[in-house]
């Protein structure tokens, strides 16, 4: 599956940012946890030393000392004991069981189903133990972890948006170059101006220019060959048709060879017509783009090219509603419409009309060519393929030309059988100011 360069770069950057973010989050979490634990332990030890410095084993009202109340207000709990292990005083809410350990320093104890972080210090005739529930520490760490996580996520989002904007800005010249190549005519030989000064794009544009030049030269050679072949074939075909006509005139109408001569003459006419269609299809890329023209003028031009057709008078038009509307590619539209009209006149019974109807709606501009011929029995897409043989043995060059013309002009061709009898061929363009 193809993936854009922008998406590829963004995914790589996203993976890199996420990896860096995870490593940074782990490092910050461990660092904060370590520093916070150290700070809380220092507060626990400082509180124990403060109480121990003020305690006196013989003091009868040690529990009333303000130092104990200060410890309670800080969220810690305190016990004061003599060296025999008798509890002399304790702060409100402190466990009744002994908090102090046999050795001075930090310990973790479990009392009444709750874990405690305890610091014990001996000074003089007293031993002081300050404690803090581990649940309090863990709650504080969790709060800090969530705050850290949210901050990092916001930073990651900001970095992602900044990188996305930077990548879009950095790759913008590629889009510009692409649009300039798409809009540049095949005949153009100059390099894309937007690539100037961009080191990475200069060799790419140069390679594309070389490829375009090779394609242009090949197209010119093909056109020259096609023109030469056309001139070489036209003359013998015209001579063959003339000789067949002369031979038919010299023979009596009831001669046995008359039918064969007539068939040969018709075959030469079809060959000449197919040759003209092939030339039109081969030269399609060389049709110049002209200025927009009104739809009615394009229809007038198509009908003028059918002035010599024996059934030209059968063509009727209904294009009043398209007054003021324009076609952006009038030469291509005229070529497509003429081929549809020739096809319709070929299969329409004598005396039956061929209608040109123009409709404009929300979906676009539509030119319908309607006849009362036999319609189509094959797949419509197949009929628009070069070389397809229809029910009457005719190759589908005319419809292939129309389909190619419409694709180049930004429109499309649709074929459908009419109710009753006949075919409706529709040329459609989107409404973009000029169709």
- 44 in Cβ contact with 117 (< 8 Å): yes
Same domain (yes/no): 341, 265: no
Going 241 to 242 to 246 to 249, the CA torsion angle's sign is positive
Burial of 147 (0-12, 13-18, 19+ CB in 10 A): exposed
Same domain (yes/no): 206, 318: no
Average confidence (pLDDT) over 98-124: 83
Tell me how crowded residue 373 is: count the other CB atoms within 10 A of its CB: 20
Please state, in angstroms and rounded to a whole number, the distance separating the CA atoms of residues 187 and 210.
Answer: 13
The pTM score is 0.47
Range of the domain at 138: 5-142
Going 422 to 303 to 358 to 328, the CA torsion angle's sign is positive
> Is residue 175 domain-resident?
no
Tell me how crowded residue 251 is: count the other CB atoms within 10 A of its CB: 13
DSSP 228-280: HHHHHHHHHHHHHHHHHHHHHHHS-TT-TTHHHHHHHHHHHHHHHHHHHHHHH
> Is residue 227 domain-resident?
yes
Question: Which SS3 state, helix, strand or coil, does residue 101 take?
Answer: coil
Q: Check residue 193 and give its pLDDT.
A: 62
Q: CA 148 → CA 160, 274, 407, distances in Å?
A: 18, 78, 58
Output 51 or 349, whichever has higher pLDDT: 349
Does residue 85 surpass a pLDDT of 60?
Answer: yes
With a CB cutoff of 8 Å and minimum separation 6, the contacts of 121 are 45, 48, 49, 52, 104, 127, 128, 129
pLDDT digits (tens, 9 = 90+) for 41-59: 888 888 888 877 776 544 4
> Is residue 164 domain-resident?
no
Average confidence (pLDDT) over 345-374: 89
Same domain (yes/no): 277, 299: no
Question: Which SS3 state, helix, strand or coil, does residue 294 take?
Answer: strand
Residue-averaged pLDDT of the chain: 77
Query: How many domains is the chain built from?
Result: 3
> Is residue 51 domain-resident?
yes
With a CB cutoff of 8 Å and minimum separation 6, the contacts of 26 are none
Same domain (yes/no): 266, 324: no
Final residue before a domain boundary, out of 282, 313, 329:
282
Same domain (yes/no): 275, 331: no
pLDDT category at 395 given cuts 50, 70, 90 is very low
Residue 173: phi and psi, rounded to 5, are: -60, -30
Final residue before a domain boundary, out of 127, 142, 157:
142
Final residue before a domain boundary, out of 105, 121, 142:
142
């Amino acid at each position: 599956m193809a993936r854009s360069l922008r998406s590829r770069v963004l995914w790589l950057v996203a993976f890199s940012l996420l990896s860096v973010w995870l490593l940074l989050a782990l490092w910050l979490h461990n660092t904060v946890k370590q520093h916070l634990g150290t700070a809380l332990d220092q507060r626990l030890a400082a509180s124990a030393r403060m109480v121990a410095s003020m305690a006196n084993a013989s003091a009868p009202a040690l529990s009333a000392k303000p130092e104990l109340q200060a410890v309670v207000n800080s969220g810690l709990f305190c016990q004061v004991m003599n060296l025999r292990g008798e509890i002399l005083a304790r702060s409100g809410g402190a466990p009744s069981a002994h908090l102090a350990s046999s050795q001075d320093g930090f310990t973790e104890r479990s009392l009444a189903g709750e874990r405690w972080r305890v610091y014990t210090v001996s000074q003089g005739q007293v031993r002081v133990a300050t404690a803090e529930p581990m649940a309090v520490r863990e709650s504080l760490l969790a709060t800090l972890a969530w705050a850290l996580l949210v901050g990092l996520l916001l930073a990651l989002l900001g970095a992602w948006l900044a990188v996305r904007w930077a990548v879009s800005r950095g790759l913008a010249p590629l889009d510009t170059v692409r649009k300039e190549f798409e809009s540049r005519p095949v005949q153009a030989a100059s390099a894309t101006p937007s690539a100037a000064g961009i080191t990475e794009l200069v060799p790419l544009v140069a390679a594309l220019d070389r490829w375009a030049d090779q394609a242009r030269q090949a197209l010119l050679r093909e056109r020259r060959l096609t023109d030469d072949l056309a001139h070489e074939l036209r003359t013998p075909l015209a001579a063959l048709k003339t000789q067949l006509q002369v031979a038919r005139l010299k023979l009596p109408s009831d001669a046995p060879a008359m039918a064969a001569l007539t068939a040969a003459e018709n075959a030469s006419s079809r060959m000449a017509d197919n040759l003209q269609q092939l030339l039109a299809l081969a030269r399609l890329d060389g049709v110049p783009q002209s200025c927009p023209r009104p739809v009615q003028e394009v229809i007038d031009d198509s009908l003028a090219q059918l002035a010599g057709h024996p059934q030209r008078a059968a063509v009727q038009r209904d294009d009043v509603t398209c007054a003021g509307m324009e076609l952006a590619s009038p030469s291509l539209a005229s070529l497509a419409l003429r081929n549809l009209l020739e096809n319709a006149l070929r299969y329409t019974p004598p005396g039956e009309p061929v209608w040109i109807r123009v409709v404009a709606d929300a979906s676009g501009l539509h030119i319908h060519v309607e006849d009362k011929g036999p319609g189509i029995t094959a797949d419509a897409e197949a009929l628009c393929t070069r070389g397809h043989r229809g029910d009457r043995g005719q190759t589908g060059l005319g419809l292939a030309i129309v389909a190619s013309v419409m694709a180049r002009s930004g429109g499309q061709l649709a074929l459908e059988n009419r109710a009753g009898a006949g075919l409706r061929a529709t040329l459609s363009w989107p409404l973009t100011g000029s169709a």
